[in-house]
Amino acid sequence: MTNAQVTALQYGLIGFFALWTVVLVPQLLTQLARHGGLRLRGIVTTAAVLLYGCMTFAVVFLPLPGPGTRRLSQTVQLHPFQWITDIHTELLKHGEPLSQWFMTQTFQQACMNVLLFVPLGVFARILWRRGLVGTTLIGFTASLLIEITQVTANFGTAPYVYRIFDVDDLVNNTFGAGVGWVFGALLLALLRAKPSTVDVQPARSQRIHLAQTR
């Protein structure tokens, strides 16, 4: 993970706490009004979705280009699985053996793109009750929206394009959403298979009054 990505995650975490503070108070008041108490599951779910959204936004768009930032020589990459070729190029550049392919920055970046959308797949399965096809479409649409935002320089709000529109990101993000759906489905299956605890009360001895009118 690069220093820029670490910085982006730090800003994302700050943004999460700021946003959650704004959302938490109305949520607590709503729960008290509707249910007469607090529901931890709803609070945790909201926090998880907000945390994921803030972290994803930060990693995708930050840091913004500064005055001394060099412009990209390539802004669009339309060759599927180009990252595999880039791994070989990176190994040759640094004189590393082929067996070290999993240590390359290119491979790690591809894994990050997959992992980035795994939580989205989990949310789609557990929270939104979507199927695998629906989750895949959600992942693809979200990834495509991100790539379009990047290639348009954040819809013209950035001074120039500072992130590449990469078809491999579309593939890896969509795959990550599918992996997240499978993980969410397995988690639900494990929770449903867990035996429920039955509260068995010991039999109480009762006195029988023979003279009692029945």
Asked if 97 and 91 count as a contact pair (C-beta separation under 8 A), the reply is: yes
**pLDDT tens digits for 107-137?**
999 999 999 999 999 999 999 999 999 999 9
> Measured between alpha carbons, how far is 118 from 173 in angstroms, rounded to an integer?
8
The DSSP-derived string for 16-42 is HHHHHHHHHHHHHHHHHHHHSS--HHH
What's the whole-number average pLDDT of the chain?
Answer: 88
CA separation, residue 115 to residues 54, 93, 122, 162, 169 (Å) = 15, 27, 11, 22, 11
Q: How many residues does the chain have?
A: 214
Categorize the per-residue pLDDT at 192 as very low, low, confident or very high, splitting at 50, 70 and 90.
confident
**Which pTM value belongs to this model?**
0.84
Residue 138 — φ and ψ, nearest 5°? -60, -45
> Measured between alpha carbons, how far is 165 from 14 in angstroms, rounded to an integer?
27
- Residue 199 pLDDT: 46
Categorize the per-residue pLDDT at 214 as very low, low, confident or very high, splitting at 50, 70 and 90.
very low
Give the pair of three-digit tokens for residue 115: 């992992």
**pLDDT tens digits for 54-81?**
999 999 999 888 888 888 989 999 999 9
